[in-house]
Chain A
Amino acid sequence: MALILGLLLQGVQMLLVLALAPLLLGFTRTVKARMLRRRGPPVIQPYRDLLKLIRKEAVIADNASWLFRASPYMIFAATWVAAALVPTFATGLTFGWVGDLIVITALIGSARFFQALAGMDIGTSFGGIGSSREMLFASLAEPAMIMIVFTVALVAGSTQLSFIADFMPGNAGLRVSLGMALVALIIVAVAENARIPVDNPATHLELTMVHEAMVLEYSGRHLAMIELAAAVKLLLYVSLIACIFFPWGLATAGSGALAYVAGVAAYVGKILVGGFLLVLFETSIAKMRVFRVPQFLGAALMLGLLGTLLLFVSRSF
């Protein structure tokens, strides 16, 4: 019975991230439009876009290989599995122990690997430039992420997200190192999700684009899978920040149905606040030149390293 309930919860979690991801995207777009004094699309526009794309036929370049066709599904699956490992509304999920924070980081790395390869498959210069820059950003964002993981793990004594979320509310308190980790994680999240100031999710046909350049050749259902994966990734990072730094309202294993409902409500509230803050940050800052981004990400790496070093000096920082 407990196993069935656990599996059910895990399934709910997986479907929840899938269902909420386009909502978060639509919410940020609407809020952003309002901040720019535009009316903007309705919140459910991403759902409509995805439905439209998924029903269309896929137009593929003549020289595309099987990798080009398989990649969207691989990217989506790796991102989805990573997102399913992050506790959203409840901790202690049945398969939470399958991977820790490092595994989640690496799973996103796997998705990116396929995305970058897919960008190079047709053999166009846009695809190449996108892949090249994506890998540059990743080569700084991933170590920054690992350093953040170190900081958090040294405070909580675990790299397992469920344990971190259970540990943080009562025991962590306010710490310098955690503050650094939070700032670093926000920088990494902004870069990883191709948001302003690193990349512009609204551009197309611009030399500064990174993510859009890689997926330029995609259309139809393949594009839909990649867009959905990107939405899930954004939700994943917001959930990650919420789970590590603001783990209030999470239902613990074995609590009643009411706790789960409250957990879902708290979670939806948290991602909406997160989305709002993201838009606030985006609208108040200009897009960077590509070669300023390494400095931006380098700051995250240094903050993460500094946070870790502080904890090596004393556990009380």
Chain B
Amino acid sequence: MTLGAAFERGTRAAAGVAEAREDGWAVMQVGMALWGVAVLLGAAILGTLLQRAGVASRLVYSLCLGACLAVLGAAGWHLLFVSDAPQSVQLPIGLPWTGAHFRIDALSAFFLVLANLGGAAASLFAVGYGRHEPTPGRVLPFYPVFLAGMSLVVLAADAFSFLLSWELMSLASWALVVAHHHAAENTRAGYIYILMASFGTLTLLLAFGLLAGPDGGYTFDAMRRADPTMPGLVLLLVLIGAGSKAGLAPLHVWLPLAHPAAPSHVSALMSGVMTKVAVYAFVRVAFDLVGEPSWWWSMVVLAVGSVSAVLGVLSALMQRDLKRLLAFSTIENVGIVFIGLGLALAFKADGMAAAAALALTGALLHAFNHALFKSLLFLGSGAVLTATGERDIEKLGGLIKGMPLTAFLMLGGCLAISALPPLNGFVSEWLTFQAILLTPQLPQWGLKLLAPAAGAMLALAAALSAACFVRAYGIAFLGRPRTPEAARAAETDRFCLAAMAACLALCVIAGILPGLLIDALAPVAQALAGTRMPVQTTVSWLSIVPVAESRSSYNGLLVLLFITASTLLTIEAVHRYASRAVRRGPAWDCGFPDASPATQYTADSFAQPIRRVFGEVVFQARERVDMPPPGDTRPARLAVTLRDLVWEAVYAPIAAGLAVVTEKLNHLQFLTIRKYLSLTFAALVGLLLVVAIWR
């Protein structure tokens, strides 16, 4: 052996070692994520065993926090540094002939980051919040399983593990929804939730069945290679299955019931993260597994998204229950995400890869942003709930005095969700608007007409959402306390505050440095849309330029800087050169101040103009004034009725039909043995006939 050959072999071996090490490191991220999940499942067992111990809740939630941070680190590392090399592992569990496949690629890494960020915030909050839980035994075992289920859905790489994880997530969250089962409304919420969840899983099962084809290629890799039969049907089924979990209208009815019923940190997870896991399922199938999209799919997605956005925010405006209001607002935001996804599908179908990358990035960024600010708002509502025992905003008021820090953090959340610059909600909606401005280049007429309408709906939803959160914040946190409980409210503990502050800090960072997030999403867009958005971090002053400098640009950092600078400058100038004297006095109120807090504007009266303008069609809102005749001493009353048209048009007929059918089928229980035998025989003959004809 010559020296040269030996040297060559040596380098090759060294290269092999390097490759192996890279592989090992990459596999380590899947492994680390799975280990994190295992820790979560362990925490669940701990929660079951320790449920009587006082430290249990603190221990379990701290474990969850640690596990979430670990998975977050692994997924973040993957997304930022090795996202071009998806890595998978196969575990010898599950179906014997396939095993369980888990895979991490850019898309799942992104959603893992999102899920575990939300999970970490909720767990940190719960370290403090868990003390107030009256029945920890009903929450502690299921909470870690819920977190584990969400991470596993995102990691799963075959239909079997996907559906199993999906059900794990659904059932654990159902158990958490009915944790406080003594309230009748919570049991009803749980019942409707589990019905809708089962239905959703059924459609997903059928969709994966179609994707797998007759050969039963249940791994995602096999599905990617195969040409699916009836891809349109697959998309519709996934839209129903994932959409019902995400809360798309008209499949949203369970969401505003179930999300508020759970303990607040779980509500934050369900609204902030679980709906995003559903978005992940849709993106995974529609952009990855099913192959090339058709343009008409995007019309369905766009229409459903726009309707959800406006219906969600209008419903939110009518709510008095703070948590239910937030749940309806989740429907709105999921609608906005799906508008972006619909646009991306349209662009992808027509081969406009750059525009598809823009729309997809906008949608995923909005999903990320929504996870942050909705978690913050739900956590804040939990803090309000523990401080006052109230979820009804009509019984709150003036909380900014008793809970100044919570009030400040919630204000940030309200600004972010109302899509106001320089916070993060604005950036993603701005990107979606930029994507809509590219739609005239689409060739199909249907899309040309639908896209601007979707844009108008998006703008309407954004404006109404500002009204909704002015109302929620103004009634609950500002003004005078309407009840003694609200007047006595005291600041929440430091864990809760830390969790909310972390969410707000991330909202601000995502708002002023969106270019970093867009660049982090580049591998996802590259993989799913075929190309990526232009590199943003090299643009001067950290602006974002989605298409070209001459088209549009936005710089959140400078907007924040300008606003801060001019605010401080003005305050300084006014105080220095004009006056800084302040005198406190009774409220002016045009000379007729009334000491009773009942004379304040209420949440219902705040919503009244919007109810009159939009609600007469959407909710069939009717106002009835009962004015007693002169001399009668009973008070005059104003009764407002709102109808849920979706429930009446879709769900009530189905429920009524089911009742009729079951009533009829009930007769089958009381037949003679002869009739049962003949029925069995007839069924056998019928099935044989079907088989004979089918062959």
A and B are partners in one complex rather than unrelated chains: yes
Residues of A within 8 A of B (CB): 54-63, 65-67, 73-74, 76-78, 80-81, 84, 95, 97-100, 102-103, 106-107, 109-110, 112-113, 116-117, 119-129, 131-133, 135-136, 138-143, 145-147, 150, 153-154, 157-160, 163, 205, 216-217, 219-221, 224-225, 290-291, 294, 301, 304-305, 308-309, 311-313, 315
The stretch among B24-32, B347-355, B473-481, B522-530 that forms the contact with chain A is: B473-481
Which residue of the partner chain, among A116, A135, A153, A217, contacts B588 with CB atoms under 8 Å? A217
Cβ contact within 8 Å between B551 and A54: no
B449 at the interface (CB under 8 A from A): yes
Q: Is B559 in contact with A220, judged by CB distance below 8 angstroms? A: no
Of all chain A residues, the one with the shortest Cβ separation from B479 is A123
**Residue B674 is within 8 A (CB to CB) of chain A in the complex:** no
Cβ–Cβ contact B421 & A122, under 8 A: no
Residues of B within 8 A of A131 (CB): 470, 474, 601, 606
Docked CA distance A142–B439 (Å): 21
Measured in the bound complex, the distance between the Cα atoms of B582 and A66 in whole Å is 13
Question: Taking CB as reference atom, which chain A residue is nearest B419?
Answer: A106
Beyond A55-B578, A163-B550, A290-B609, list 17 extra A-B contacts (CB 8 Å): A57-B579, A57-B583, A59-B583, A61-B587, A77-B567, A81-B562, A110-B415, A122-B587, A124-B593, A124-B601, A127-B601, A131-B474, A132-B471, A135-B471, A139-B466, A146-B433, A221-B578
B551 engages A98 (CB within 8 Å): no
Flag if B559 contacts A160 (CB, 8 Å): no
- Measured CB to CB, the nearest residue on chain B to A136 is B609
Contact residue among B464, B558, B578, B579 (Cβ-Cβ distance under 8 Å from A98): B558
Given contacts A98-B562, A127-B601, A128-B606, are A58 and B582 in contact (CB under 8 A)? yes
- Distance of A167 from chain B, by nearest CB (Å): 9
Per the bound structure, the CA–CA distance linking A126 and B589 in Å amounts to: 7
Other-chain residue from A66, A142, A159 in contact with B437 (beta carbon distance below 8 A): A159
Question: With contacts A102-B433, A123-B600, A147-B456 known, is A135 near B470, CB below 8 A?
Answer: yes
What are the residues of chain B within 8 A of A57 when measuring CB–CB? 579, 581-583
Cβ B559 vs Cβ A98 within 8 A: yes
Q: Which of B101-109, B144-152, B375-383, B397-405 contacts A (4 or more CB under 8 A)?
A: B397-405
B51 within 8 A of A: no
Q: A120-B478, A128-B600 are in contact. Are A58 and B609 (CB under 8 A)?
A: no
Decide if B453 is an interface residue (CB 8 Å cutoff).
Answer: yes
Q: Which residues of B contact A102 (CB under 8 A)?
A: 430, 433, 552
Compute how far the CA of A33 lies from the CA of B534 in the bound complex, rounded to whole angstroms: 55
| Chain B nearest Cβ from A103, distance in angstroms | 6
| Residue from B421, B439, B448 within 8 A of A313 (CB atoms) | B448
Does B680 sit at the interface, judged by CB under 8 A? no
For B541-564 the 0/1 string (1 means CB < 8 A from A) is 001000001111111001100111
Contact B440 A205 (CB under 8 A): no
When the two chains form their complex, are residues B420 and A132 in contact, meaning their CB atoms are under 8 A apart? Answer: no
**Are B584 and A142 in touch, CB under 8 angstroms?**
no
CA distance A111 to B550 in the complex (A): 27
Q: Residues of A contacting B418 with CB < 8 Å?
A: 109, 113
- Asked whether, in the complex, the Cβ of B567 is within 8 Å of the Cβ of A139, the reply is no
Interface: B214 (CB within 8 A): no
Instruction: Given A61-B588, A129-B601, decide whether A117 and B478 contact each other with a Cβ distance below 8 A.
Output: yes
Assess whether B574 is interfacial by the CB under 8 Å rule: yes
Complex Cα distance A158/B552, Å? 6
Asked if B559 and A103 sit within 8 Å, CB to CB, the answer is yes
Known contacts A121-B479, A217-B589, A312-B439, A138 near B466 by CB under 8 Å: yes
Q: Are B601 and A74 in contact (CB under 8 A)?
A: no
Q: Which residue of A lies closest to B400 (CB)?
A: A65
Known: A67-B400, A124-B593, A147-B456. A99 touches B559 (CB 8 A): yes
Contact A80 B566 (CB under 8 A): yes
Q: Are B448 and A312 closer than 8 Å at their CB atoms? A: yes
How far apart are A173's CB and chain B's nearest CB, in angstroms?
A: 18
Given the known inter-chain contacts A99-B421, A106-B426, A309-B452, please indicate yes or no for A160 contacting B584, CB distance below 8 A: no
On whether the beta carbons of A56 and B579 are closer than 8 Å, the reply is yes
- What 1/0 mask marks residues of chain B from 457 to 483 whose CB sits below 8 Å from any chain A CB? 001101110110011011100111000
Contact A65–B401 (Cβ < 8 Å): yes
Measured CA separation A117–B470 after assembly (Å) = 6
Residue in A closest to B397 when the chains form the complex, CB atoms: A123
Bound together, the chains give a CA A57 to CA B581 distance in angstroms of: 5
Q: Roughly how many angstroms separate A98 CA and B562 CA in the complex, as a whole number?
A: 10
CA distance A55 to B581 in the complex (A): 9
**Known contacts A65-B401, A123-B597, A158-B551, A312 near B451 by CB under 8 Å:** yes
Residue of A nearest to B566 (CB): A77
* Segment 386-420 of B: residues with Cβ below 8 Å from A: 397-398, 400-401, 404, 411, 415, 418-420
- Chain A's nearest CB lies how many Å from the CB of B468? 9
27 residue pairs bridging A and B, Cβ less than 8 Å apart: A54-B574, A56-B579, A57-B581, A58-B581, A58-B583, A67-B478, A77-B562, A81-B559, A97-B553, A98-B559, A102-B430, A107-B559, A109-B466, A120-B470, A123-B397, A123-B600, A124-B589, A126-B589, A139-B460, A139-B464, A146-B459, A147-B456, A147-B459, A157-B550, A163-B550, A163-B551, A217-B588
Nearest CB on B from A150, distance (A): 6
Task: Determine whether B135 belongs to the interface, using a CB cutoff of 8 Å to chain A.
Answer: no
Report B33-76 CB contacts with A as 1/0, cut-off 8 Å: 00000000000000000000000000000000000000000000
Distance in Å from the Cβ of B504 to the closest Cβ of chain A?
A: 16
Q: Is the CB of B570 within 8 A of A216?
A: no
Q: Kindly list chain A residues whose C-beta atoms are within 8 Å of the C-beta of B559.
A: 81, 98-99, 103, 107
Contacts of B462 in A (CB 8 A): 142-143
Q: Which B residues lie within 8 Å of A219 (CB)?
A: 588
When distances are taken between beta carbons in the complex, the residues of chain A under 8 Å from B612 are 291
Task: Return the contact of B601 from the options A128, A159, A305 (Cβ within 8 A).
Answer: A128
- Name which of A129, A158, A205, A313 has the most chain B CB atoms within 10 A of its CB: A158
Residues of chain A contacted by B582 (CB below 8 angstroms): 57-60
How far apart are B425's CB and chain A's nearest CB, in angstroms? 10
Contact of A124 among B437, B553, B587 (CB under 8 A): B587
Give the complex CA separation of A158 and B420 in angstroms.
21
Contacts of B456 in A (CB 8 A): 143, 146-147, 301, 304-305, 308
- Report the Cα distance A139→B564, complex, angstroms: 27
Report how far A274 CA is from B259 CA in the complex, Å.
51
> Is the beta-carbon distance between A315 and B440 smaller than 8 angstroms?
yes
Is B690 part of the contact surface with A, judged by Cβ < 8 Å? no
**B497-541, CB under 8 A of A: which get 1 and which 0?**
000000000000000000000000000000000000000000000
Contacts of B570 in A (CB 8 A): 73, 76-77, 225
In the complex, B590 has a CB within 8 A of chain A? yes
Q: Which single residue of chain A is at the shortest CB-CB distance from B608?
A: A132
Chain B minimum-CB-distance residue to A110 = B420
- Kindly name the residue among B462, B478, B582 whose own CB sees the greatest number of chain A CB atoms within 10 A: B478
B599, A139: Cβ atoms under 8 Å?
A: no
- How many Å lie between the Cα of A225 and that of B567 in the bound state? 11
| A135 and B467 contact, CB distance less than 8 A | yes
A159→B448 contact, CB < 8 A: no
Task: Identify B554's interface contact among A62, A103, A147, CB under 8 A.
Answer: A103
B478 pairs with A65, CB closer than 8 A: yes
The reply to whether A135 and B466 contact each other, CB–CB distance below 8 Å, is yes
A163 to B430, CA, bound (A): 18
Residue in chain A with minimal CB distance to B601: A128
Interface pair B555/A97, CB less than 8 Å apart = yes
Contact residues in B for A220 (Cβ distance below 8 Å): 579
Closest A-B pairs by Cβ, 9 of them: A128-B601, A123-B479, A120-B474, A57-B581, A142-B463, A135-B467, A146-B459, A143-B459, A123-B480
Docked complex: B566-616 residues within 8 A CB-CB of A: 566-567, 570-571, 574, 578-579, 581-590, 593, 597, 599-602, 605-610, 612-613
Using CB atoms, name the residue of chain B closest to A146.
Answer: B459
Q: Does B455 contact A (CB under 8 A)?
A: yes
Q: Are A113 and B552 also in contact (CB < 8 A) when A103-B421, A123-B600 are?
A: no
B residues within 8 A CB of A124?
587, 589, 593, 599-601
